[in-house]
Structure 1
Amino acid sequence: MAGNSLLDWLRASDDAALSAVLRSRPDLAVPPPPDLTVLATRAGVRASVNRACEDLDTLTLAVLEAFAVAGADTEPVTQEQIAALFGDQVPAGRLAAALDALRVRALIWGEPEIRLLPAALEVVSRYPGGLGRPAAALADSGQLAKLLADTPDAERRVLQALADGPPIGRSREPGASVVQQLISRGLLLRIDPETVELPRQVGLALRGPAPLARLVADEPTLDTINPGAERVDATAAGAVLELLRRADLLITAWSEDPPPVLRSGGLGVRELRKAARELGMEVPEAGLLVEVLVAAGLIADSEGTGSAGAGSEWVPTTQVDLWAAGGVEQRWIILARAWLELPRLPGLIGYRDDADRILAPMSDELRRPLAPRDRRRVLDALADLPPGRGVAGVDRLTRVLAWCAPRRGGRLRDELVEWTVAEATLLGIVALGALSGPGRALLASPDPAPVLSALRAALPEPVDKVLLQADLTAIAPGPLRADVAEEMAMVADVESAGGATVYRITEGSVLRALDTGRAPAELHELFATRSATPVPQGLSYLIDDVARRHGRLRAGAARSFLRADDEVLLAEVLAHPSADAWELRRIAPTVLISDLPLVTLLDVLRVAGFSPAAEAGDGSVLDLRPRGRRIPAKPRAAASRVSLPIPDDNQLTALIAAIRAGEQAATMRPSTDALRRSADGATNGRSSSSATLELLQGAARQRRSV
């Protein structure tokens, strides 16, 4: 036996056993305990015990509950006694593994007689095993058996109902009722005028052999599917490209029209729905994208307060330009890591709080510091499967994780699994229920190189050609090369996105391209060189028609001016019913000026059916596309550590050596105190320096530490 107390067991343990305890419960080493007494005291603190039990599975927690039922906190029990409580439900090997898990966490100790840490009683239920508290009057098992044998059937049925659990019942029956008879014989205990409790000994006796077998349900199996690593990675690559496209759209939209910050913080429901509609996403998905972009530092509150101030808005930061300049791989890594380390629960977006208010993106109510830990737990379960193999359904994964760590996740434990898989799928970390190659690399190491390599292997090769159709659409059969994508975005509108992007070429999109200073000949050449199919005649006609009308009017700043070689065209402008609102004045046969800003003048003329072009001072076409707002990027907060780091072997060796030294010093302290008292008596009022010198000399003679 290693002693009756945890302290005695720790003192008798070797360095390997102490290392195992500190590795499984790293909070015990912060700050480093000066000796084993402090270590034993910390191990019995309720908060530390709760933390130590978070990773225990259902079986191990049931074994812990069995120790509570057996009263191991007051008297030692044996492994055989615990095994008898479960019968054949728990094989010997599984029971031994559960005991090792509890012992390495210092929740139990001793061999062959095992004791339970008293603080562990606060981890198990109030009525462990569904059994009541023991009654001192029923300590004699023979007497209890006789009482039960003499119990009539009606009374026994009441006892059996309480033995099945819970052991608490309500009864207001007065006089010589069934309950009253049981109370009078000590088989029931009266708690208050309306409540009775079945003593633990009675419950164990009525349950018969293996009274705790019901605590251990069979471990659920994980139904898996095998879509194949290649298919999983190809699907994930499509999700990555779609994610980045939508991120670009949101950043562009908020550059031009930033939404306001709510007075209570976050993004308003109306603005979120608008963003979801423009991005072609569900509202929760749009909320997730907003959360990730803010976490990545690409969007920020313009006032930096997180709540509505004077003109406080959600605006893209200058970090966006650096992010956009990177390749697909670098851009995705930034977003994926931001989500992985996000200390918030985007899955709560759209739910209502206790005041019946809708939870909004970026609101304080979504903050959960433990979210990164719980998120990784779900992804690690998928990472344990071979590449290309995934789960058949999230429900089964939820049940498996609940069995493996029932104390993890709180009341949102099951929802967290569903949210994590859905969010990871949207980001391309998971696809078809399996962890993608880039997602696996992302979890395995903080080094970006393996992630870049995995994503490059998954992404299809960029193409530099589109397929022009007779209906004035262009199909990109894969991700376009960056320069080609920029050209197509200038001259066409995205109609649908996915594995193949469909662009629609319209009069407005051609006009937009001409507004950037492109000549009609350049547009003809663009389509001729970038199309793998012949250019439709209708597209050529459209370009020529728009170009013929474009630029006949020339606008400049007077605040702005209009000029045209055709005097009749200017007369037509002046004769328009809205001309007075345009504040136009003729200063020459071919020149009009206006007090409206140039951009405003161009907009109103186009609404009226004209096609003016902006003109620079040298007569060239002026590109007036909005550049979008930017605010300075704010320093990103360091990822908060939600769990204490596990000490490595060198740290554990040094820590245990320091604890051993402290323990040795603590055992020598009484002798040192005696030396001090002896020296104090010998000094009889002499100076403190003399007394100190004599104390040191005495310690040297006796070879004692001071």
Structure 2
Amino acid sequence: MSRTGAMTTTLALASRLRAMRDDDLLAGLHARSYRRAGVSDFFDLAEALLDADAVQEALLRLDRIELAALVALGRADVPLGPGAVAETLRGHAATAEVPRERVEAAVALLTDRLLVQPADEGAPGDAAVAPYDAVIARLEAWEAGGLPSPDALLDTAPPDPDPAADATREAGDRAAGDRLAAERAFEAVTAVSELLAELSREGARELQKGGLALPAAKRLAEALAVDQAAVPVVMSVASRAGLIAIEDAAWLPTEGARGWLRGATPERWQRLADAWLATLPGDVRTLLEAHAADRWGAALREHAAWLHPGSPREAQQRLDARLRDALWLGLATTDAAPGGPTGAARTAPSRDLTPSTPGTALLRDGSDAARAALAPLFPGEVDRVYLQHDLTIVSPGPLAPAIESRLRGMADIESRALASTFRLSPASVDRALTAGETAEGIRAFLTEISLTGLPQPIEYVITDAADRHGRVRVRDATGDGVRSAVRSPDATLLRTIEVDQSLAALRLVRSGESLVSRFARDVVFWALADARYPVLAEDAAGRPVPLRRNRVAHPRPASGRDQDAELIARLREHGSAGGDDAGEWLARQLDQAVRARQTVVVQVAMPDGRTLDLVLEPTGVGGGRLRGRDRTADVERTVPLSSVRGVRPAD
């Protein structure tokens, strides 16, 4: 893979880096992994980027089309534009069917990632490029390291796809598969809804090294009625849809979660599916869109491995993770039994999936088409429930979101399915009263949605909870180390609170007819509420204040250091800080050319005002002079450094 075109050594890259706009350079560095230690100028940076390990890391991230374009560029005698690269690739099995637009994108990516050198920075359209020598050398060494050789990259044809699903499945099988997909989609929406409700009640701690703390994972699995292995799936789907986020090392619902919960089931599913599609890695999305009606089996995984010859296992794992979520969302089906959300099929996709009709619609026509295909298969929503004497509330089908949201505020859910069960209790009614409901409002709401009237036991629970509510009151207080005060007309109840060991952390101390604490009112309030005391919050004037324990996350852009930006700023400052910057830059270029034995074009200012270009192979720099062999005249020349106006690689 030899080349006699433009010189593409460290000198060429260093000159390019120095001339680049900061934004373009920053984007290029962000896409690369390289050592920053010891980088004090653009020559050091160029050497770091062309280091064998840094180049290898960059090559492993490329797909086969990008690697094939690199091979074609490396075998050319002159720099090539995308059109010429595309023409070359048409003669090879791996890239015979690749459109020019794809090749153009590949060449642009290689340029942006600082793996090839533009031959003419200002050329529009079909600008030619040439790879750096170190990049080609690393690629040529792949075969010795157990990776595909340049010939294999070009001549290994893609694997044959599985037969199209539409051609191999009967209409009845497709209908059955779509019904199964709708069932899974409904369960997915249910699970995310339960996740938001549970995180609203209590956040889930995220470990510093990543992943949920084990107690939080177990709690969520129980609340969602799923296997613990399914919890990361539910959370990844919800996170991609912007419904949950991390704040203060805890997962919490976002502000947008409230609006999502009020939407109809098909619209809620659409947002989850849309987020799945929008956040697909580019290679996975391209692959799935190309096989939107094909079986997603072993051949698809083989294609992912073929497309990423430098990292086939990682490519398959990336694909498997998204197929797992597609199965969970009802975008694909298997021949396995549904198994519900706790079944293994919900968290570990088979290698033989088939896209559902909504899944195909999503990939081909977008989320509106997918929702239209799935909505008729969802169970209809209901707006009436059965109130029973044992204080349970049974919904004969999925509740309308607005009704379910309010019902959850006054009753605890016991089971969630097509027919859900809630339970009213003194504690749940007290919670509703704390949040601003009234006894009259609760009765009116339950009567309105009930198919069985308002049973006497439920009436009694509401009345009793309303009578007890507010017997304990907590308000802000001021004083020496005092921030809140607890009072009650029931002296016995106040004494019980004072000696309650579960409240010892509040450090409640008797002060007259009240108990005072150094903790804020809301902290004391929620501790008393969790201990099942009929507590009410008040403002400083004694007016009731409704409190809701709905903590939400407010995602903020990462504020961490940008080491690449800091490096660029340091290099720019170094290049302009005092001294003869132009002279220093020329000296570094000439020294680099001497060490690399690289022929360069030296611009020399003549006494008569003319500028003369000398094609020299520099042999030494010292004493204020440049020595080298003139390749044109084949003579040794000595040029004063003070007369040198510029240096560039020779073509």
When normalised by structure 1's length, the TM-score is 0.48
* Counterpart residue number, 1:615: 538
Contact 1:550 1:612 (8 Å CA) reproduced: yes
In 2, the alpha carbon distance for the partners of 1:225 and 1:522 equals 54
The correspondence for 1:290, drawn from 235, 252, 257, is: 235
Q: How far apart in 2 are the matches of 1:242 and 1:478?
A: 13
Change (3 A) 1:432 1:499: farther
Distance in 2 (CA, whole Å) between partners of 1:38 and 1:436 is 38
- Aligned mates of 1:547, 1:451 — CA distance in 2: 47
Q: What SS is found at the alignment partner of 1:494? A: strand
Amino acid at match of 1:242: E
Partner of 1:338: 275
Alpha-carbon displacement from aligned partner over 1:443-498 (angstroms, at most 9, x marks no partner): 2213x443343344333332111122333222222221222111111111221212
Q: 1:54·1:405 contact (CA, 8 Å) conserved in 2?
A: no
Cα gap change, 1:52 to 1:335, in 2 (>3 Å): farther
2:326 is matched with 424
Within 1, Cα distance between the matches of 2:535 and 2:277? 49
Shift of 1:561: 3.2
Per the alignment, residue 550 of structure 2 pairs with 627
Structure 1 residue corresponding to 2:297, chosen from 364, 378, 398: 398
Cα deviation for residue 314 of structure 1 reads: 4.6
Residue 54 of structure 1: how far off its partner (Å): 10
SS in 2 for 1:381: coil
2:285 corresponds to which of 372, 377, 394: 372
Name the TM-score, length of structure 2 as normaliser.
0.51
CA deviation map 1:256-292 (0-9, x unaligned): 6555555455556665455334322234432222223
Is 1:561 equivalent to 2:485 in the alignment?
A: yes
Higher relative contact order (CA 8 A, sep 6+): 1
Q: 1:533 to 1:49 in 2, by over 3 A?
A: same
Note the C-alpha offset of 1:519.
2.6
**What one-letter code is carried by the residue in structure 2 that aligns with 1:276?**
A
Instruction: Look up the match of 2:464.
Output: 545
Aligned partner of residue 503 in structure 1, secondary structure: strand
Aligned residues: 411
Letter in 1 for 2:192: A
1:585 equivalent in alignment to 2:510: yes
Q: Deviations over 1:154-195 (max 9, x none)?
A: xxxxxxxxxxxxxxxxxxxxxxxxxxxxxxxxxxxxxxxxxx
Q: Counterparts of 2:476 and 2:381 in 1: how far apart (Å)?
A: 42
Choose 561-570 or 520-529, whichever is displaced more: 561-570
Q: 187, 192, 204: which is aligned to 1:242? A: 187
List aligned pairs for 1:76-225, cutoff 5 A. Answer: 224=169
* Greater strand content: 2
* Cα distance change, pair 373–495 in 1 and its aligned pair in 2 (3 A): farther
Counterpart residue number, 1:668: none
Alignment equivalent of 1:443, drawn from 353, 358, 363: 363
- Selected match of 1:527 from 446, 468, 480: 446
Give 3-state SS (helix, strand or coil) of 2:474's partner: strand
Q: Superposition pairs for residues 463-612 of structure 1, below 5 Å?
A: 463-558=382-477, 559-566=483-490, 569-570=493-494, 582-587=507-512, 593-605=516-528, 610-612=533-535
Query: What is the CA-CA distance between 1:499 and the residue it aligns to?
Result: 1.6
Shift in Å, 1:298: 3.6
Label 1:236 to 1:322 Cα distance change in 2 as closer, same or farther (>3 A). Answer: same
2:182 and 2:377 in contact (8 A); partners too: yes
Q: Is the 8 Å Cα contact of residues 386 and 451 (structure 2) preserved in structure 1? A: yes
Q: Conserved in 1, the CA contact under 8 Å of 2:475 and 2:484?
A: yes
Q: Shift of the alpha carbon at 1:599?
A: 3.4
CA contact (8 A) 1:227 1:432 kept: no
Q: Which residue of 1 aligns with 2:38?
A: none
Distance (Å, rounded) in 1 between the aligned partners of 2:299 and 2:223: 38
Q: Which residue of 2 aligns with 1:135?
A: none
Shift of 1:440: 3.4
| Greater mean alpha carbon deviation, residues 592-601 or residues 224-233 | 224-233
RMSD: 4.9
**Whole-angstrom distance in 2 between the partners of 1:555 and 1:239:** 46
- State the alpha-carbon separation in 1 of the partners of residues 333 and 549 from structure 2: 37
2:94 is matched with which residue?
A: 50
Describe the SS at the equivalent of 2:294. Answer: helix
1:297-324 CA-to-partner distances (Å, cap 9, x unmatched) read 444455xxxxxxxx55555444445545
Secondary structure of residue in 2 paired with 1:460: coil
> What is the match of residue 658 of structure 1?
none
Greater mean deviation of Cα atoms: 491-500 or 409-418: 409-418
Separation in structure 1 between the aligned mates of residue 88 and residue 314 of structure 2, nearest angstrom: 32
* Separation in structure 2 between the aligned mates of residue 257 and residue 341 of structure 1, nearest angstrom: 29
| Matched letter for residue 551 of structure 1 | G
Shift of 1:543: 2.3
Find the residue that maps to 2:485 and give its secondary structure. Answer: strand
Q: Percent identity?
A: 26
Query: Is the alpha carbon distance of 1:53 and 1:227 closer, same or farther for their aligned partners in structure 2, counting shifts above 3 Å?
Result: same
28-37 or 454-463, which moves further after superposition?
Answer: 28-37
Residue ranges of structure 2 left out of the alignment (5+ in a row): 1-64, 74-78, 100-148, 336-353, 478-482, 559-651
Deviations for 1:16-75, whole angstroms, at most 9, x for unmatched residues? xxxxxxxxx99979999769866544446xxx75355899xxxxxxxxxxxxxxxxxxxx
Equivalent in the alignment of 2:226: 281
- Cα contact 2:476–2:539 (8 A) shared by 1: no
Q: Report if aligned partners of 1:220, 1:399 keep a CA contact under 8 Å in 2.
A: no
Q: Deviations over 1:325-349 (max 9, x none)?
A: 65444432232132234446xxxxx
* Range with bigger deviation, 332-341 or 415-424: 415-424
| Structure 1 residues 498 and 375: CA distance shift in structure 2, 3 A | farther
**How has the CA–CA distance of structure 1 residues 437 and 34 changed in structure 2, closer, same or farther, with 3 Å as cutoff?**
closer
